[in-house]
Chains A and B, each alone.
Chain A
C-alpha cells in the first residue's frame, strides 16, 4: 500500500465514523433515533464547541496547564526512576530488601492516591504532578533496573579487559545501557504523565483539560465532553509525534528490529 492510499483509507475511516454518528443522532431509523443527542451529542455541535474554544482562545490556558503538569510529572518521575533504578541494580541487597514494597506500591491503582495528593498538595498543579510522578516513576524505574541488570556480560568483560575502572564502567557501559532502556519506555512514560495530569484535574482542580471535561459533564453538556476528548486526543498525538522525533535522534545506534521493545 502506498503512502497516499494508506492516508486516504485512514481519512475514510474517520469520515465513515463521523458520518454514521451524524446519521444516527439526527435521522430517525424505523421511526426512532438510535443515538439520542442528549447522550451522544452530534458531530456538528462538538465541532462548533471545539471551534469556539480555539476562536475565543480559552482552551490554550487549559492546554498549557495540562502540558506543564505532564512535563513536570515526566521530568521528575523519570529522574527519580533513573536514579533509584540505577542504585537498586548496583546494590542487589538493597533491591532485595525493598522488593516487596516496590511491588506493593506498583500494584496499587494510582487513582486512589489522587485524593491524598489533593489533601497534601492542594488543588493546584502539584497534586496532579505528584499523581503523574507515581505513574511515570515505576515504568522508568523497572526499565532502568532491567537495563542495568541485563548489560551483556561480554560487553562488560570487554570493558574490564580494556582497562575500565568501576567509574568508567558506569559511564561507558551501565549508564548508556540504562538510558537506552529508559528511552525505549519513553512513549509509555510520556503517555502516563498525561494520564496522571488529566485524571488529577478531573478529580479536583480549577484548570486543565481534565477540568474542562469534568465541568462539561457536571452540566450535562455532552458536546463539551466529546469536544474535550477530541482536543485531548489531538494533544496526546502531538506529544507522541514529538517523542518519536526525539527517540529517533537519541537511539540512532539501535538496530531497527529491536524498536518494538517498550
Chain B
C-alpha cells in the first residue's frame, strides 16, 4: 500500500480497525474488517466503494462516533478516546438545527465554545458570505434549497477551524450541476489552509476530481481496503475542466476496473439479502 508513513505524524491513522455490530439473534455483522488507513496533515483522501460497504462506518470511527471492536485509531499520534474534537463532520443527511436561522446555525459552533454572541454572529456572517449565502442569514433551513443547506453546513463546520474535515457523501442528495459547483467551492475553501480531509463518496469521478488519493473498499460484509491510488492531477483544479483531462480518464479506467467487480458483488449480495 502506498502513502504509508509513520502513524505518529498522521492526521488520521487507523490500524487494523475492525467494526462489528450486534444484530438480531445474537449474530454479529462485521461491517469493516482490518482497515488500515492513513491521512496525512493537509491531504485530501477520498474513500470510494459500493453501497453498503462500510465507508461511512470508517468515517464514524475516525470521528469517534463509533469505537472499533479491535484495532487502533490515532489522531495526530494520540489514541482517540471519545469524540474526535479535532474533526469537523459534514453529514450526508440534513444536520442543521431546523429551529435556528442560517446565521445562528453557523454561529452555534463558536457560541458553545464560549465566544461572545456578538463576535460569533459577526464571524458567522463572514462565513456565510464566503460560502455565497451572505444575503440568506435570516432564513431558516427549510427556506433554503438542498445546495444552500449544504453550504450552511460547510460554514457551520469550518467556522470552528477543525484540523480534520470528515465528509460523508455530503453532496450525495444534490443534483449533478449543484454537486460540481459545491465541489469547486469545497476545493476553493480547502486550498486556503489545507486541512486533512476524509471524503466518502460512491461517485468515482467526484473522488478523482477532488482528492489527492483515492481509496477503494470492497463490498460488505467485512469490507476491506483493496486499493489506494495517488491522483497526479495538478492543483488548483476546476472540477468542470479536470474531467476532460487525459490522465483523469486513464486513472478512472484503472480504478473502475477494480471497483466494477466490487459494485457487482455488492448488488448480488443486496439482491440475496432481499430474496
Contact = CB atoms under 8 A, between A and B. Distances in A.
Interface of A: 152, 154-155, 157-165, 168, 172-173, 176-177, 180, 252-255
Given A162-B112, A162-B160, A254-B142, A176 B97 contact: yes
12 contacts: A152-B94, A154-B91, A154-B95, A157-B95, A161-B87, A163-B160, A172-B112, A173-B97, A176-B97, A180-B99, A253-B141, A253-B142
Contacts of B88: 161
Closest 3 CB pairs of A and B: A158-B95, A255-B142, A253-B140
B101 to A, nearest CB: 8
Nearest to A160: B83
Contacts of B65: 157, 160-161
A162 B156 contact: yes
Given A154-B93, A155-B95, A253-B99, A172 B83 contact: no
A164 B95 contact: no
B232 interface: no
Contact of B63 (A161, A164, A168, A173): A161
Given A154-B95, A155-B95, A155-B97, A161 B142 contact: no
A173 B108 CA distance: 11
B157 to A, nearest CB: 8
Interface of B: 63, 65, 83, 85, 87-89, 91, 93-101, 108-109, 112-113, 140-142, 156-157, 160
Given A152-B95, A163-B85, A172-B97, 15 more contacts: A152-B93, A157-B65, A157-B91, A158-B96, A160-B65, A161-B83, A161-B89, A162-B108, A162-B109, A162-B157, A162-B160, A164-B112, A173-B97, A176-B97, A253-B141
Contacts of A162: 108-109, 112, 156-157, 160
Contacts of B99: 176-177, 180, 253
A168 B88 CA distance: 18
Contacts of B91: 154, 157-158
Contacts of A177: 99
Contacts of B141: 253
A162 B96 CA distance: 11
Contacts of A252: 140
B109 A253 contact: no
A232 B63 CA distance: 58
Contact of B89 (A158, A165, A172): A158
Contacts of B142: 253-255
Contacts of A160: 65, 83
B95 A163 contact: no
Contacts of B160: 162-163
